[in-house]
Chain A
């Protein structure tokens, strides 16, 4: 098992956070993990991304230009990262903010209206969690229960935040699960 993932969006959409949650959950699952932010001279409102590697062996390169999957939360991110995903990989697309379909036909594309779903659940701020859930549902790389545990630990004492995020994670997970057979077929 070796998964290199890129998570990308606007600064403030929480892509670094879902990357950390994923890495933490991977660590709890007994995997070797690395989380690497793109830390260049970014500007407010600019794009933001991180790489997460989950592996059953020692992680080599902490950066990748051929990820096994990507979660893209805005238009700039799909433009930049869709071409890089390895054939057969997963592309989670936030259709709330991305008004074009994915071009690639050799990927398992998981469209999810992350902002809308999160808004309906209580706050559009949790759109990142919907997208992460969708990715976990389709890929099965780590159990969503582990991410729920990490959420509870990360936001200990802030029950409302934990609850909202866990709900959004589950909603995304259900959507993603519909694509799990497509992934398994690859």
Chain B
């Protein structure tokens, strides 16, 4: 398939279709409206279903029904809408249902604003809803990666029977870049889900549920979920840029900020300052071992986010004081420039720590 110039939102929508997904449930909110818009046009063309739900709460429960019936399905929203979905996401995790949830983050808290942000990192990676659960979180940095990770998200959701979240920001959603779809899966080619509630004919009943009233049973369920989340460690993924010569400053950033950091790093290198990038692609599970190794070879670590400092907590836990960890963030929908970030990095090496 030839490369097409697409918005990140559209690429995510098309990637879902190419993954054999034929069910979308969602409710409009900026800056991800291009996803439901795209799905409303594309789903009827491929025999799929687009439902504009009455609310985000409803959309998340529609996912529960569709995924429980064994079908690939997804929703998308932006920060306040994702908050509304948290009850449903907790139930989906409890009932071990494979769904894909896209969060194109905007600035908060509350209604906040519509401009780009990364301030839902903690919500996405630490639970978000109630109960002991985790969702797999993937953070694309380019439009091509948004498409690729969306396709992988459906596979990972099925593999672990768990919700998978694509965590982007308004920039990823709105920017256009060339994209190609590397494979196409038809719904009928997907493997059967023997646990799904597809109509009880000729087999024992299947039950999809998150209610375990006996403490003994629920503990066993929690232990099994915990083991599953540990098994997900096999999926950790990251990318590095120019870190092979023991950098003076290792910038740690994900999503859009990571690409801004690449520009900063190029300009710092031109000035003779050794800077490099560590970009987590999976935010849960977190690429802790690889980050620890990269940080051990750096003199300073600088975490950059579009937030007041959320991922920096994980970086500090990983680095564990072996290297100084500083933070630089912009928030409220303000996006740092490459120059600003480069200045912050420069300060670390010119001023004694």
What is the interface of chain A, defined by CB distance below 8 A to chain B?
A: 20, 23-24, 27, 32-37, 39-41, 58-66
Rounded to whole angstroms, the CA-CA distance of A34 and B337 in the bound complex is: 16
Rounded to whole angstroms, the CA-CA distance of A60 and B339 in the bound complex is: 12
B348 at the interface (CB under 8 A from A): no
Beyond A23-B176, A35-B5, A35-B176, is A63–B31 a contact (Cβ under 8 Å)?
no
Rounded to whole angstroms, the CA-CA distance of A50 and B345 in the bound complex is: 28
Rounded to whole angstroms, the CA-CA distance of A62 and B116 in the bound complex is: 13
Rounded to whole angstroms, the CA-CA distance of A66 and B260 in the bound complex is: 13
Rounded to whole angstroms, the CA-CA distance of A64 and B260 in the bound complex is: 10
Q: Assess whether B5 is in contact with A23, with CB atoms less than 8 Å apart.
A: yes
- 24 CB contacts below 8 A, A to B, read A20-B5, A24-B5, A27-B3, A27-B178, A34-B175, A35-B176, A35-B177, A36-B174, A36-B175, A39-B170, A39-B174, A40-B333, A41-B114, A58-B262, A59-B259, A60-B259, A60-B261, A60-B262, A60-B263, A60-B338, A61-B262, A61-B263, A61-B338, A62-B175
B171 at the interface (CB under 8 A from A): yes
Chain A residues lying within 8 Å of B170, measured Cβ to Cβ, are 39
Nearest chain A residue, comparing its CB with the CB of B335: A63
Q: Mark B1-44, 1 if CB is under 8 A from A, else 0.
A: 00101000000000000000000000000110000000000000
Q: Which residues of chain B (245-275) have a CB below 8 Å from chain A?
A: 256, 259-264, 266
Extra contacts, 11 of them, besides A32-B178, A36-B176, A40-B114 (Cβ < 8 A), are: A20-B5, A27-B5, A27-B178, A33-B5, A36-B174, A36-B175, A39-B115, A60-B260, A60-B262, A63-B335, A65-B339
Nearest chain A residue, comparing its CB with the CB of B260: A61
Chain A residues lying within 8 Å of B171, measured Cβ to Cβ, are 36, 62-63
Rounded to whole angstroms, the CA-CA distance of A10 and B280 in the bound complex is: 39
Chain A residues lying within 8 Å of B3, measured Cβ to Cβ, are 27
Chain B residues lying within 8 Å of A20, measured Cβ to Cβ, are 5, 176
Nearest chain A residue, comparing its CB with the CB of B113: A41
Q: Assess whether A35 is in contact with B175, with CB atoms less than 8 Å apart.
A: yes
Chain A residues lying within 8 Å of B177, measured Cβ to Cβ, are 33-35, 59
Q: Assess whether B5 is in contact with A61, with CB atoms less than 8 Å apart.
A: no
In which size bucket is the chain B interface?
A: 20 to 34
Query: How far apart are A127's CB and chain B's nearest CB, in angstroms?
Result: 23
What is the interface of chain B, defined by CB distance below 8 A to chain A?
A: 3, 5, 30-31, 113-115, 170-171, 174-178, 256, 259-264, 266, 333, 335, 337-339
Rounded to whole angstroms, the CA-CA distance of A34 and B144 in the bound complex is: 11
Nearest chain A residue, comparing its CB with the CB of B266: A60
Rounded to whole angstroms, the CA-CA distance of A23 and B177 in the bound complex is: 8
Q: Assess whether B262 is in contact with A37, with CB atoms less than 8 Å apart.
A: no
Rounded to whole angstroms, the CA-CA distance of A27 and B333 in the bound complex is: 29
7 closest A-B pairs by CB: A60-B263, A60-B262, A35-B176, A61-B263, A61-B260, A36-B175, A61-B338
Q: Which of B177, B260, B264 has the most CB of A within 10 A?
A: B177
Chain B residues lying within 8 Å of A36, measured Cβ to Cβ, are 171, 174-176
Query: How far apart are A8's CB and chain B's nearest CB, in angstroms?
Result: 16
Chain B residues lying within 8 Å of A23, measured Cβ to Cβ, are 5, 176
Nearest chain A residue, comparing its CB with the CB of B174: A39
Chain B residues lying within 8 Å of A33, measured Cβ to Cβ, are 5, 177-178
Rounded to whole angstroms, the CA-CA distance of A66 and B342 in the bound complex is: 14
Query: How far apart are A118's CB and chain B's nearest CB, in angstroms?
Result: 25
Rounded to whole angstroms, the CA-CA distance of A39 and B173 in the bound complex is: 11
Query: How far apart are A83's CB and chain B's nearest CB, in angstroms?
Result: 15
Rounded to whole angstroms, the CA-CA distance of A24 and B5 in the bound complex is: 7
Q: Assess whether A39 is in contact with B31, with CB atoms less than 8 Å apart.
A: yes
Q: Assess whether A40 is in contact with B339, with CB atoms less than 8 Å apart.
A: no
Rounded to whole angstroms, the CA-CA distance of A181 and B263 in the bound complex is: 30
Chain B residues lying within 8 Å of A27, measured Cβ to Cβ, are 3, 5, 178
Query: How far apart are A51's CB and chain B's nearest CB, in angstroms?
Result: 9
Query: How far apart are A117's CB and chain B's nearest CB, in angstroms?
Result: 28
Chain B residues lying within 8 Å of A32, measured Cβ to Cβ, are 178
Rounded to whole angstroms, the CA-CA distance of A27 and B30 in the bound complex is: 28
Chain A residues lying within 8 Å of B338, measured Cβ to Cβ, are 60-61, 64
Beyond A39-B170, A60-B263, is A66–B339 a contact (Cβ under 8 Å)?
yes
Nearest chain B residue, comparing its CB with the CB of A57: B266
